[in-house]
Structure 1
Amino acid sequence: MARSARLISKRMRRNSAIQLLDESEHGVEKRKVESDKRRRSLSEGSEPSGGKLALENPQQGHKGKLVGWVELSEVTLYREGTFSLCFTAILNDAEVVVKLLKSDAQLIDERAEDLFDTEIAVVLGGGNGMDGRSRHLVNMVGVGREERGGFVVLEKLTMTLEERLGNCRSSGGLGLSFPWWGGAKKKEDPWKDDLQLRMKTCLELARGLEHCHTGGLKMGGCVIHRDFNPKNLGFRDDGEAVVFDFGLSRVLENYTAVSNTMPRAMTGEVGSCRYQAPEVSCHSPYGAQSDVWSWAVVAWEIGTLQLPYGEITTGEYLCRVVEGGERLPLDGGWGFDEEFKGLLRECWEENMNKRPSMVEVVKRMESIMKIEGGKG
């Protein structure tokens, strides 16, 4: 019964992605790749060729042409994951990121394609895949499908949160540049000394995560990120914060984010240790509330510009945080609002059902920052 439910859920994700592509006025070449073709492609070592697709690109206000691999230029590998390869490339004179599903991963582990299909469905949410799209999710530029696997073309962000935090921690906060604070000339990041600006980043990331949790997918369900940490968060060239990399995401059906009811929990350890909720580290059932914990750790890091728990090992984390109940300090002279401190404490409740939903987190952050809902 459980296996049957998983297969149905998997088909729903795939069908949803295909349906969303079909809705484009340019039409879509549906996926028709079979396992034997992938094996043959892998053994022959052929280059990805790509079928042409088309999809509306609402973030940029125009139709984004979805092309085959051969239409990408200056393709450079910059990151390799368990199931995918990430490249930087040029498409129509614009810098993009291309995420290609590994063919060997498909042969070794059938979960790989499932993960990739989930990511496609989620990232489509940055465009026309979610009702009332959020600008704080990475923008989809295109999708391709060819014999060696599928690939996603995404907007290229200016830098990750991890890079920006590292820059602020370095001597003088110099070494990186943004268009909005001096262009190519290296200047100190104003974000470093402006707590309000950093709190705005926390709110923007909360809005992105809220959008995933509130069941905005057309196919229904709550999207759990499961790897919410500075490596998977970034900034556009206008300074806006964005959530990306949904490779470990999962969809829970019939989830109501406001009430935090969770009919189908999940188990397994994913994500980075210092950002993990206790239930994740213990391989216990977990859900969207685990993302709430991770958001609060990231928010603390943004607020303090310090590495959470320092150079902690997995064993030490289990001993000190999971078993010992240690929490990050909130009274270090960082100028945190008392309401913000209280919010973080609630997000770090050991019982995940006592944590606020991301809907509540966003409302309280807007209140803390004196921002009207949906603005700023």
Structure 2
Amino acid sequence: MKEKNESGGGYVRADQIDLKSLDEQLQRHLSKAWTMEKNKNRNDNEDHRPIIINNPPNTRRVTRQEWEIDPSKLIIKGAIARGTFGTVHRGIYDGQDVAVKLLDWGEEGHRSDAEIASLRAAFTQEVAVWHKLDHPNVTKFIGATMGSSELHIQTENGQIGMPSNVCCVVVEYCPGGALKSYLIKNRRRKLAFKVVIQLALDLARGLSYLHSEKIVHRDVKTENMLLDKTRTVKIADFGVARLEASNPHDMTGETGTLGYMAPEVLNGNPYNRKCDVYSFGICLWEIYCCDMPYPDLSFSEVTSAVVRQNLRPEIPRCCPSSLANVMKRCWDANPDRRPEMDEAVTMLEAIDTSKGGGMLPIDQPQSCLCFRRHRGP
């Protein structure tokens, strides 16, 4: 997503994005739109005579933001996932199957102003990042609404109204579910090597696109990747994504998920898009092995070992060297030695899958017994 600065040149640095200002602008716009609509309805009820408005040609009285949905076209159905601050529902928008992410800012008095402000800022940030993206390996953003009183959840017994402080993001529905769930289902029998490379390429191409748009996802993990009906991987969840800062020192702090976070992020050091490359390397291992990285270690043990002992998931002996090389390069402790994502795409495209090379199931006699102890690369 390319955002121009006020002078019209260059990209906006991450530290120059004023989320509070963006949020206030959105609220002012929506309040103005609702007020105009209410006044229109009141005038129509009081006087049925035609009203002539001298508007310029081809303009509308009420203008929506390009990312705003029409709540009257949205049908929200049952929940398919739940989180700390909201739920994801199946839905239909304008006749299309969608997923609806509902964020509840909390009933008045149940959350502090700071908590609500944080949630509103996260929502605004996610919309700002997501709504301009267009790539086959990125979940398609359809629209969003903030603070609408027209949202209802459809149940067997009728409709349940939602509080007016609930906001929602509407995206394409991916019936294949999370990539992580798909890998867990195939934990015993593993995946054909051709499927491994196809899934890896989908993810790599999506990340390459994001980086070309100056976006760092910052939470790359198989749980945040969805599968459509053709088993195409689509990157989702841009809740912590940011425009990449021109100065790495402007991007610090532990953001992401332990087990996938790069050493520089865990250490609180400055970082850039190469933190996504590291996380991709871990995902690549996970896709090949259909297993969890570091299953026997606590969060604190993982953090310490990754930073101080160069701990990485153990690559099975049956893994072709061409793929193992991509993993090792991507999770290198030195960000400068990691490839760019477009280079990772090229390396994966060059791998020959015609002769097999997938992970061998553990119950096969010729299987490689690699999971005795987790070591570094």
**Normalized against structure 1, the TM-score is what?**
0.68
Residue number among 220, 229, 239 corresponding to 1:228 in the alignment: 220
Matched with 2:203 is 205
Q: Residues 166-201 of structure 1: CA distance to partner in whole angstroms, max 9, x if unpaired?
A: 11125xx6xxxxxxxxxxxxxxxxxx4411111111
| 3-state SS in 2 of match to 1:271 | coil
Q: CA separation of 1:271/1:94 partners in 2, compared to 1, >3 Å: closer, same or farther?
A: same
- Report whether the alignment pairs 1:157 with 2:157: no
Confirm whether residue 108 of structure 1 aligns to residue 93 of structure 2.
Answer: no
How far apart are 1:8 and its partner, in Å? 4.2
1:85 to 1:13, Cα distance in 2 relative to 1, 3 A:
farther
Tell me, in whole angstroms, the C-alpha distance in 2 between the residues paired with 1:13 and 1:141.
24
Show the 5 A alignment for 1:46-125: 66-68=69-71, 70-104=72-106, 107-109=113-115, 110-124=117-131
Q: Structure 2: which amino acid aligns with 1:99?
A: K
How do 1:365-376 and structure 2 match up within 5 A? 365-368=348-351
What is aligned with 1:243?
A: 235
CA-to-aligned-CA distance 1:95-120 (integer Å, 9 cap, x gap): 31112333237933333223222211
CA distance in 2, matches of 1:228, 1:234: 12
Letter in 1 for 2:126: E
Could you say if the C-alpha distance between residues 52 and 274 of structure 1 is closer, same or farther in structure 2, counting changes exceeding 3 Å?
A: farther
- Find out whether 1:323 has 2:323 as its counterpart: no
1:123 & 1:266 partners in 2: Cα distance?
20
Query: In the alignment, what sits opposite 2:265?
Result: 280
1:142 aligns with 2:160: no
Which residue of 2 is the match for residue 303 of structure 1? 288
Aligned in 2, Cα 1:369/1:138: closer, same or farther, shift over 3 Å?
A: farther
SS in 2 for 1:274: coil
- In the superposition, relative to structure 1, how do residues 88 and 108 fare at CA in structure 2: closer, same or farther (>3 Å)? farther
Q: Report the equivalent of 2:326.
A: 343
| Bigger Rg over Cα | 2
What is the aligned-residue RMSD (CA, Å)?
3.4
How far did 1:264 drift? Answer: 4.3
* C-alpha distance in structure 2 between counterparts of 1:305 and 1:342, whole Å: 18
Is the CA contact 1:52–1:67 (under 8 Å) kept in the aligned structure 2? no
Whether the 8 Å CA contact 2:123–2:239 is kept in 1: the answer is yes
Shift of 1:85: 3.6
In structure 2, distance between residues paired with 1:280 and 1:193? 31
Indicate how the Cα distance of structure 1 residues 6 and 292 shifts in structure 2: closer, same or farther if over 3 A, else same: closer
Is contact 1:140–1:155 with CA below 8 Å preserved after alignment?
A: yes
* Residue 135 (structure 1) shift: 0.8
Asked whether the 8 Å contact 2:184–2:291 carries over to 1, the reply is: no
C-alpha change, 1:318 and 1:8, in structure 2 (3 Å) is closer
| Larger helix share, 1 or 2 | 1
Q: CA deviation at 1:146?
A: 2.9
What fraction of aligned residue pairs are identical, expressed as a percent? 25
Q: Distance in 2 between matches of 1:237 and 1:55?
A: 28
How far did 1:138 drift? 0.3
User: How far apart are the structure 2 equivalents of 1:369 and 1:106?
Assistant: 55
Q: Deviations for 1:281-340, whole angstroms, at most 9, x for unmatched residues?
A: 222222211111100100111011121122321122023222111222224313x2x232
Distance 1:223 1:210 in 2: 10
Q: Distance in 1 between matches of 2:64 and 2:100?
A: 15
Give the TM-score normalised by the residue count of structure 2: 0.68
* Uncovered stretches (5+) of structure 1, i.e. residues with no partner: 19-28, 38-50, 57-64, 174-191, 216-221, 255-261, 371-376
For the residues of structure 1 that align with 2:89 and 2:127, how far apart are their CA atoms? 16
CA shift, 1:203, in A, is 0.8
Alpha-carbon distance in structure 2 between the residues aligned to 1:108 and 1:87: 27
C-alpha displacement of 1:11 = 6.0
Query: In the alignment, is the contact (CA less than 8 A) between 2:249 and 2:271 conserved in 1?
Result: no
**Secondary structure in 1 matching 2:336:** helix
